[in-house]
């Protein structure tokens, strides 16, 4: 870590002692990282914060309070938790709220040495018959790539009941790495400035993200259910390695272990004995059966990469397809497939699946030479598969076709009222999902990125609308896509219908922005979208 990064890191962890000379009263601790809540059930919710102490080698007692009033005139629940440097001074409590009606809204806060944290809003999940429920879905929030205007917009929408984050909540890259071109101009240089690999470095990166005021506002507004993707560890991660992890960067097992420890410390999530098994079920009345799945760390086999089948300027298509279609290749794994089989619910109106990567089959249309010549280095492989009717992204479910078919056939036996959520691609997608025998299984909505570059950025400012139109033409189950906007997805579900709204912001390079609805899609249980 260089001197500039080191000084910035200290500013996140401690206050600068010189400032104390100008204060009449010195607070012993500060709440610099906001508050958050998550993993709500009908009876419990996790609340979170982080204190910044004056001294590092101490153990601090932190009081939490739960109330129905923002003024905290009446305290419903309270308790005491302890933290120290072994927890990176993060604070987490799993609160039992079973004596109150499911779906109740609560206010919460923390107190340490008479210093009071910001106030957060949370709620348990309703279990009664409910008319509607609205969820906001996010993915790919890259701090140096731009401002979190998307989070600000969603935090101000009081009609949303729950946040879901589908991964890439942080990015691991160094300053000068992916999507950091404007970091200095925007005042968002990564901390630390090197690629994060160790426990302390992952902690610092989470710490930097949590100082963002728009991210804090989103967490304070309502609870979040979240699952990691690859960048919480390293790009294109699988269970035993990653594209962005080289042999000279120590043992991947220890890197993954450090990344997950920091994730559990810094996120409002319920602790797991085996940390990488973070799949879970959440029931929202008789309306929504929500299953959060892990398609990244627990059971994923290594990706079949196009670059490994290109030799001397020739692409070995036959070998590629042979390896791609091996039935033994795993993405979810048998344990998680059994979880899906057991927890899919015919009695709820909707089965909702939150997972990281695109489920739909997507091939690219033939691309003209002026587009192919402008591709960034990580997409040069497209030159070799152009017009071969092959999937463009083998890090998605397209890279695991046999496992996808097993997954879809399990669901087809239970219900066709399935909604699949995805992130990862940085772009908007809406599609009908069918198995290999063309049976309709459900609909998929993939959210755009919060700030990571999208398709229009990869094509260096070219008008991508003709490409969007061509993609929907060559992929018969794909209804709509958008490569141009950063944004998020909202999903309002009722018994009779659902409404998916893709919401975009016009910029992430300035703090002032305008928002717009890019697309509204109405759909009914068991019916295809058009």
What are the backbone dihedrals phi and psi of residue 200, each rounded to the nearest 5 degrees, phi first?
A: -65, -35
> What's the pLDDT at 27?
59
Candidates 399, 370, 427; CA nearest to 306 is 399
Average the pLDDT over 203-215 and give the result: 98
Q: How far apart are CA 259 and CA 253, in angstroms?
A: 10
> What's the pLDDT at 205?
98
Show the tokens assigned to 222: 């309502």
Residue 66 buriedness (CB in 10 A; 0-12 / 13-18 / 19+): buried
Q: Is the pLDDT of residue 40 over 60?
A: yes
DSSP per-residue string spanning 438-500:
--EEEEEEE---SSS--HHHHTTT---HHHHHHHHHHSTTEEEEESS-EEEEEEEEESS-EEE
Q: Is the pLDDT of residue 24 over 90?
A: no
Average the pLDDT over 508-530 and give the result: 97
pLDDT digits (tens, 9 = 90+) for 485-516: 999 999 999 999 999 999 999 999 999 999 99
Q: Is the pLDDT of residue 414 over 90?
A: no
For residue 11, what pLDDT band results from cuts at 50, 70 and 90?
Answer: very low
The CA-to-CA distance between both ends of the chain, in Å, stands at: 52
Q: Is the pLDDT of residue 326 over 80?
A: yes
Q: Is the pLDDT of residue 8 over 50?
A: no
CA 346 → CA 164, 287, 499, distances in Å? 23, 11, 21
> What's the pLDDT at 15?
39
Candidates 13, 2, 178; CA nearest to 90 is 13
Domains of the chain from N-terminus onward: 1-127 (2.60.40.380), 129-523 (3.60.21.70)
Average the pLDDT over 370-376 and give the result: 80
Asked whether the beta carbons of 251 and 198 are under 8 A apart, the reply is no
Task: To the nearest 10°, report the CA torsion of 394, 396, 397, 400.
Answer: 40
DSSP per-residue string spanning 29-69:
EE--S-EEEE---SSEEEEEEE-EES-SS--EEEEEEEESS
> What's the pLDDT at 26?
57
Q: How far apart are CA 404 and CA 436, in angstroms?
A: 10
Candidates 290, 281, 297, 380; CA nearest to 332 is 297
pLDDT digits (tens, 9 = 90+) for 118-169: 999 999 999 989 999 999 999 999 999 999 999 999 999 999 999 999 999 9
For residue 269, what pLDDT band results from cuts at 50, 70 and 90?
Answer: very high
Candidates 268, 159, 266, 138; CA nearest to 214 is 138
pLDDT digits (tens, 9 = 90+) for 348-371: 999 999 999 999 999 989 888 888
DSSP per-residue string spanning 200-252:
HHHHHHHHHHHT-HHHHHHHHHS-EEE---STTTSTTEETTEETT--TTS--H
pLDDT digits (tens, 9 = 90+) for 173-202: 999 999 999 999 999 999 999 999 999 999
> What's the pLDDT at 424?
98
Asked whether the beta carbons of 347 and 417 are under 8 A apart, the reply is no
Name every residue whose Cβ is closer than 8 Å to that of residue 347 and which is 6 or more positions away in sequence. Answer: 286
Q: How far apart are CA 450 and CA 447, in angstroms?
A: 9
> What's the pLDDT at 7?
41
């Amino acid at each position: 870590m260089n001197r500039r990064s080191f000084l910035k890191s200290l500013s996140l962890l401690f206050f600068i002692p010189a400032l104390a000379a100008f204060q009449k009263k010195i607070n012993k601790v500060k709440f610099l990282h906001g508050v958050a809540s998550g993993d709500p059930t009908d009876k419990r919710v996790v609340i979170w914060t982080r204190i910044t102490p004056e001294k590092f080698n101490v153990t601090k007692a932190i009081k939490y309070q739960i109330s129905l009033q923002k003024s905290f005139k009446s305290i419903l629940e309270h308790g005491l938790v302890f933290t120290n440097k072994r927890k990176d001074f993060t604070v987490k409590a799993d609160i039992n709220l079973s004596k109150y009606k499911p779906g109740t809204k609560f206010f919460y806060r923390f107190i340490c040495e008479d210093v009071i944290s910001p106030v957060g809003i949370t709620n348990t999940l309703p279990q009664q018959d409910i008319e509607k429920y609205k969820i906001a879905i996010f993915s790919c929030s890259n701090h140096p790539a731009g401002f979190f205007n998307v989070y600000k917009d969603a935090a101000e929408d009081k009609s949303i009941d729950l946040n879901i984050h589908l991964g890439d909540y942080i990015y691991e890259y160094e300053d000068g790495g992916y999507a950091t071109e404007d970091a200095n101009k925007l005042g968002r240089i990564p901390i630390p400035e090197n690629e994060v690999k160790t426990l302390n470095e992952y902690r610092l990166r989470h710490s930097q993200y949590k100082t963002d005021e728009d991210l804090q506002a989103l967490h304070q507004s309502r609870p979040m259910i979240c699952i990691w993707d690859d960048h919480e560890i390293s790009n294109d991660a699988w269970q035993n390695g990653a594209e962005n992890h080289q042999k000279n960067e120590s043992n991947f097992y220890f890197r993954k272990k450090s990344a997950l420890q920091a994730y559990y410390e810094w996120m409002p999530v319920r602790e797991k004995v085996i940390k990488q098994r973070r799949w879970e079920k959440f029931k929202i009345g008789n309306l929504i059966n929500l299953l959060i799945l892990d398609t990244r760390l627990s059971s994923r086999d290594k990706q079949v990469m196009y670059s490994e089948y290109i030799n001397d300027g020739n692409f070995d298509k036959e070998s590629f397809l042979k390896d791609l279609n091996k039935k033994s290749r795993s993405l979810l794994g048998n344990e998680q497939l059994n979880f899906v089989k057991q927890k899919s619910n015919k009695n709820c109106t909707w089965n909702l699946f939150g997972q990281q990567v695109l489920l739909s089959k997507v091939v690219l249309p033939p691309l003209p030479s002026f587009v192919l010549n402008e591709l960034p280095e990580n997409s040069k492989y497209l030159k070799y598969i152009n017009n071969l009717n092959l999937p463009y992204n083998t890090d998605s479910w397209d890279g695991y076709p046999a496992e996808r078919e097993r997954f879809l056939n399990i669901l087809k036996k239970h219900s066709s009222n399935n909604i699949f959520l995805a992130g990862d691609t940085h772009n908007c997608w809406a599609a009908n999902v069918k198995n290999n025998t063309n049976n309709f299984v459900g609909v998929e909505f993939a959210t755009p990125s919060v700030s990571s570059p999208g398709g229009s950025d990869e094509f260096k400012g070219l008008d991508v609308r003709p490409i969007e139109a061509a993609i929907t033409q060559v992929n018969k189950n794909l209804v709509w896509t958008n490569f141009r906007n950063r944004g998020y997805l909202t999903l309002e579900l009722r018994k009779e219908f659902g409404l998916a709204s893709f919401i975009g912001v016009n910029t992430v390079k300035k703090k002032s922005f305008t928002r717009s609805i890019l697309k509204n899609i109405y759909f009914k249980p068991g019916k295809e979208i058009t």
